[in-house]
A and B are shown apart, each in its own frame.
Chain A
């Protein structure tokens, strides 16, 4: 995959797409904001629960991902 394809999309600058007062953007080297979200099975998974145990790959999807 070409880097140009990726960079062309543009990474949001600090706070650009965040609501006022939210400045966390989780850039490289920063502490990732913790969260707890429900799964389809109504379990709750938090980022913190993997701390010290596993690397976590976060995969964000778009709202209407029509190719999948």
Chain B
């Protein structure tokens, strides 16, 4: 997984994160949990993933390439979890980024 050159950033509007199943679905990738809490949902809004009615972000997975371009975007409804194989295929198509020191 490391060879794919990808960093997983989990973003949640919940300051008390309990997303074990979701994180497990993305298992094997380096993972950092971020809080979209101050101000609430700011990043989710910027990504068009804010659900105003529920006051929460949609479940979604995006892949941003090394140039900062969105290459993959998928939203999920409960109880669906991310398809890791599909995400890995997408990363393989992007190819490992050139190592920079």
A residues near B, CB below 8 A?
A: 1, 5-6, 8-12, 14-19, 22, 24-35, 37-40, 45, 47-48, 50-65, 67-68
Q: Does the CB pair A35–B43 fall under 8 Å?
A: yes
Whether A51 pairs with B66 at a CB distance below 8 angstroms is: yes
- The interface size bin for chain B is 35 or more
**What residues on B are CB-neighbors of A38 within 8 Å?**
34-35, 38
Is B45's beta carbon under 8 Å from chain A?
yes
Interface of B is mostly: mixed
- Asked if B19 and A60 make an inter-chain contact with CB atoms under 8 angstroms apart, the answer reads no
The smallest C-beta distance from A65 to any residue of chain B, in angstroms, reads 5
A-facing mask of B74-85, CB < 8 A → 1, else 0?
111111101100
